[in-house]
Structure 1
Amino acid sequence: MRGDLEPGTPIKDVELAERLGLSRTPVREALATLTDEGLVETKPHAYTRVTALEAEPVRDALVVVQSMHALAVGIATPKMNVEDIVAMRAANKAFKKALDADDAVAALAADDEFHAVAVHRCDNFAIAATIDRFTPLVRRAEHSRFSSPNARHSVTQHQQIIEACENGDPVLAASLVDENWNTLEAEL
């Protein structure tokens, strides 16, 4: 997801198992999961390789992830407490610090923490499961965005989301989350 393995890079389960100190079974299971998530492609008895980052499947997944996050914050906003707002502020502060340090991995983790507050507070397993299912396909594009100066505007957008949540405005919060995720579309 970070781009350490270029699209098309072959993956050999035996070599990967040896490198990780695992048996082939968990490696094969992990590769099957990555295949389901669209990050790896396989052709039996021919190849297993990293998929190309194609815009259309990522856009399809992005629409779902974006919608679920907007729905989550819309449901969560009336339920949020002071601790939730504090957690969102702390995550946004960590996000800004990571961006300032050009640390895309830390920025992605802080962004996940920020959005997870609403996902957790909405307490809807279907929303959380759908986000978990489709986020991996979007993750490479997110990592690319957080590796560039283009991500700086998200700090301000996050602050606006926090304010909408703090003011108890679920419609505005959902609209702002939708707008925040929509900026990833430009990266594609």
Structure 2
Amino acid sequence: MPVPVSAESVARSLLRDDVYVRLRDAIVDGTLEPGEQLRDGELAAWLGVSRTPVREALLRLQQGGLVVARPGRSTSVATLDARAIRDAQAVVASMHELAVRQAVPQLTDADLDRMRTANEHFAAALRAGDVDAALAADDEFHDVPVACAGNHALRGVLEQYTPSLRRLERLRFASLAGRGSVALHERLVERCAAGDVDGAAATSYETWQTLEPLLAADR
């Protein structure tokens, strides 16, 4: 008979994921500031959990570039390092380009409508100056082709490296420069609807290069 999975094991898994998401979001939204020292005991008390899931979450965050660990010294929130962000941007842009390339032949009218609706929400959030809503709508927009591609390895890479870009995107979406992404989204939907695989893939890649002016300014 199959080995049973206990409810306790499932609960532990969900707890680890929840702690990771909460710490990741706290870093992305600035609750935990760049350079801030992270003590697992304090974080555990804040989240109401034991130190074990906190330590596991910090390790995952380190792998994604959001946390810096100095053996024998301290763990802290990573600063907005231009080179590290540029590296993450290159990876994320390439993964989204691949996702769109794989997804275009499979996208349905309902999928395209979801992208259009997400972009409308994105534009409305930018006009209202609601950065959190803009980020959520942007995630919703790009997740449609990622989901349709059905490439689990690709999704895993995006989950690891996208959060480090989101910290910089908060600055872009808080400015008028972020509105350029609305037009890029519209062009991406048009090319997906036309079945233009190469054009859609190129537009997707271009969309994820819009952080370059901010990176250049940080040089």
What TM-score do you get using the length of structure 1 for normalisation?
0.95
CA distance in 2, matches of 1:99, 1:9: 29
Cα deviation code 1:28-76 (max 9, x no counterpart): 1111111111111122442111111100011111101001101111121
CA distance in 2, matches of 1:164, 1:119: 16
Displacement, 1:99?
A: 0.8
CA distance in 2, matches of 1:28, 1:127: 25
Between the aligned residues of both structures, percent identity stands at: 48
Query: Where do 5+ consecutive residues of structure 1 fail to align?
Result: none
Q: Which amino acid aligns with 1:141?
A: L
CA distance in 1, matches of 2:151, 2:32: 34
What TM-score do you get using the length of structure 2 for normalisation?
0.82
Partner of 1:183, secondary structure, is coil
Instruction: Determine the structure 2 residue equivalent to 1:13.
Output: 40
Query: Where do 5+ consecutive residues of structure 2 fail to align?
Result: 1-27
Moved over 6 A (4+): none
CA distance in 2, matches of 1:133, 1:42: 17
Higher relative contact order (CA 8 A, sep 6+): 1
CA distance in 2, matches of 1:37, 1:71: 20
Instruction: Determine the structure 2 residue equivalent to 1:58.
Output: 85
Instruction: Select 2:210's aligned residue among 166, 172, 183.
Output: 183
Q: Which amino acid aligns with 1:72?
A: A
Instruction: Select 1:139's aligned residue among 157, 166, 169.
Output: 166
Between 136-145 and 13-22, report the one with greater CA deviation: 136-145
Partner of 1:49, secondary structure, is strand
CA distance in 1, matches of 2:75, 2:156: 26
For these two proteins, the number of residue pairs brought into alignment is 188
CA distance in 1, matches of 2:152, 2:48: 34
Instruction: Determine the structure 2 residue equivalent to 1:96.
Output: 123
